[in-house]
A and B are shown apart, each in its own frame.
Chain A
Amino acid sequence: MSKLIVRTINLSKVYRRGKVSIPALNNVNLQISAGEIVGIMGPSGSGKTTLLNLIGGLDKPTSGRIFVDGLDITALGEGELADYRLRKVGFVFQFYNLIPTLTALENVEIPLALAGVPKSERRERALNLLRMVGLEARAEHKPDELSGGEQQRVAIARALANNPSIVLADEPTGDLDSKSALALMNLIKDLNRRNGQTFIIVTHDPIVAERCTKIYNIRDGRIETA
């Protein structure tokens, strides 16, 4: 078996709204091996997105630990977490979340710029990434000139920019028609095969689920292995 890339130990998250505590995750112990495409499914409010946000270092757990690529990210400070997100994690969102004022190419360049890659190299690497997702010809287009499927592919190129260990996707096909969804999943499978990147995908979509190498179900903040 290949090496563990993500490991959570007794991971819990409780949201507090005033005096009310809302448990979102309850003692989650999860192990994900490098190179997998993991689907996380479950009804809405079950804690899927919370889990993804915790692994991605966007949020802090109430208790428990998360190791990513051997690094205990629960021990990181705010600045270190930003650095972790920049270099180790790629995010793909349901609504693409490209910066509307920037072209496709510039959107892919952002993580590279944030990481301090010099401008000339940045351009070239971003173009390569767009080529990889089949959108080289659309490099100079703004998001509103691209279809949903194209925007999501740009988002994937952006997520892969700094060659992260894991790519986290929250309902990446949620806003796509089935044809685009299928194309996107084929792209993800292809990238996974070629680069060995680990994908963790929160989804409801059977098109996605069918193409994952492993599925976890979450219900009431607990993992149920499929």
Chain B
Amino acid sequence: MSLSSVLSAMRQIILDAPALSADQSERLAAFKNLFPELTSEEAEDLSKVPPAKFGIYTTSIFAGERNLLQNNFPMTVALLKEAWKRCFGEELSLFKFAKEMHRVKPWTSTASTLLGRNFVEYLRDYLPQVLQDSPFLAELAELELFIRKVRKQRNGAFEACNGLAPENLAEMTVEMVMELEFIVPKCALFKQLGYDLISIRHEFMKDGSALPDHVPATPTAAAVGRNREGHPRCIALSQEIYSYLSVREKEKQQPIEELAEVYVGSQPPSLSEEELFSGFIAEVVRLAHNGVIALLEKKEVGQPSSHGS
């Protein structure tokens, strides 16, 4: 008797759901053929189970995966359904989709982020026809996976809610602002996108149904942060700000002057100092509101860091 052989056979019967005869003796013959490592008694025991009863587990597992995809990738799934109809002339069964995805990319750990990663890779590597119709789909799935990760990511030593309220910047002089520091929070994620997915996702999330007729192939630098209430927020950055922020060490205090220099370098030279300053303040407020950075008072020499306060 081998427990591992029995469990392994059950895995294959449940996940692969091979066509099984209604007749027990035929099932027994099939199991002996499919699972030669089983003893006669083990094969006989499994053959006693009516196939429909194994099917309850098959249904439950892939219905669960279908729901996870639907809940965590709402916009990707909505656009995938549209693309599927165009490519194959039929409605997408997300249940069958999940089953096929599991077959080629098994869920090999208990982490639900792995299911998300499998989804991204499956869209990218296994569905050429769909990807030709909607080449942005894998990237959109990756963005939604980022948003999910940021929503749940363990708190860092310094969260956006512990920082200076960005509204306070409006009352500060140039000198006071330049004395500030900032960090990139632990949970923030950055990604270069080949498509303008940020604005179409904002529209979609307003009512959960607004699908674009066309997704422009506009390179977009995206950042996902967590606002002061702890909710994930996704914004587009200028390429200059992206290049600077995305390589900062997470949670390390940086002088805001550096960020100001990057900002100024990204603006047209015709702008006045006043315009540059107000534009910079607006950008810092936007970044801080969306949790891509958190603002801090400058660390005094010899004083302990305000991290974790």
Q: Do A and B come from one complex?
A: no
Residues of B within 8 A of A (CB): none
Residues of A within 8 A of B (CB): none
